[in-house]
Structure 1
Amino acid sequence: MTELSIGEVAERTGLSVHALRFYEREGLLVGPVRRTAGGRRRYAVLDVRWLEICVRLRESGMPLADLRRFAELVRQGPGNEAERLRLLDAHRQRVDERIRELEECRSLIAWKTAVYADHLERGEAAGLWDPTAENRSARA
């Protein structure tokens, strides 16, 4: 069985050594991390796969408490899959909502860049959003 050092796992997952220790302390791993006789952490390939899932869930905004609960459910083994599904589905819904919000932001930015590009192309950019202009109704 291939085991990896904490540095190797950090490199593979993109997490810092400090973050890996934090994940372990917070109970976010599905199994105990094996230690050498000298106390050095040794990770299995399965640990790395789990950490990659954790990284994606955190990057997508999953609250630490939810990730902790998910890890706890996985550690418990079979029989709680419906609860795992509810937890993941609730998170997916939050991610979907955030994506909708970001799409609205992107739409506004695309509209605004088109306005500026059009004004620049026509040579009419002066006065666009000019807070120093006398007329406060300056075009934005």
Structure 2
Amino acid sequence: MVEVPESLSIGQVAERTGLSVHALRFYEQEGLFVNAVRRGPGGRRIYCQDDVDWLNVCIILRASGMPLTVLRRYADLVREGAGNVDERLALMREHQERVTAQIGSLTESLDLIRFKVGVYEDLVSQGDAALRQCHGPSLPPGEARTPGLRHEAMVE
């Protein structure tokens, strides 16, 4: 018995993915779907679960910072089918390196934020006198300023 894929409206797909109807139309216009979006009577878009699954991959890749041009290239490669695994692998490795660098940068930022939270928690627990005496930027012990990273000058 042949299984007929579930037909989903654009509103249902928007609800399942968290993307707006406008974003779904944009993704279609930009060629980001692996399968052509089908049309029903009256020209209404019809989607299936495979489309939702693909969109979830796209959402994760976009959230990780993958540019639309790279995502479009990835969709093109998937659409082409077998025979381009080396190119898909290279694309994903490049993106993996970008995400790894982002994580390193965010970890550095988080370390500073955690340190500052600790400083402020200590000041709050010491009361008003300590708050009035806090004047300059505070860095974790033994840590130099990171080039390009602005530290606050005073506690407000």
Letter in 2 for 1:35: R
Letter in 2 for 1:82: D
Query: What TM-score comes out, normalization by structure 2 length?
Result: 0.80
* Alpha-carbon contact 1:127-1:138 (below 8 Å) kept: no
Which sections of structure 1, spanning at least 5 residues, go unmatched?
A: 131-136
Name the residue aligned to 2:74: 70
Q: Percent identity?
A: 53
1:49-100 CA-partner distances (Å, limit 9, x unpaired): 0000001101111000000000000000000011111111111111111111
* Correspondence 1:125 to 2:131: yes
Aligned Cα root-mean-square deviation (Å): 1.9
* Total equivalences in the alignment: 134
Which of the numbers 23, 31, 50 marks the counterpart of 1:27? 31
CA-CA distance at 1:47 after TM superposition: 0.7
Partners of 2:119 and 2:6 lie apart in 1 by 57
Partners of 1:38 and 1:139 lie apart in 2 by 62
Letter in 1 for 2:69: A
Which sections of structure 2, spanning at least 5 residues, go unmatched?
A: 137-152
CA-CA distance at 1:139 after TM superposition: 8.0
Runs of 4+ in 1 over 6 A off after TM superposition: 137-140
Which of the numbers 88, 107, 118 marks the counterpart of 1:84? 88
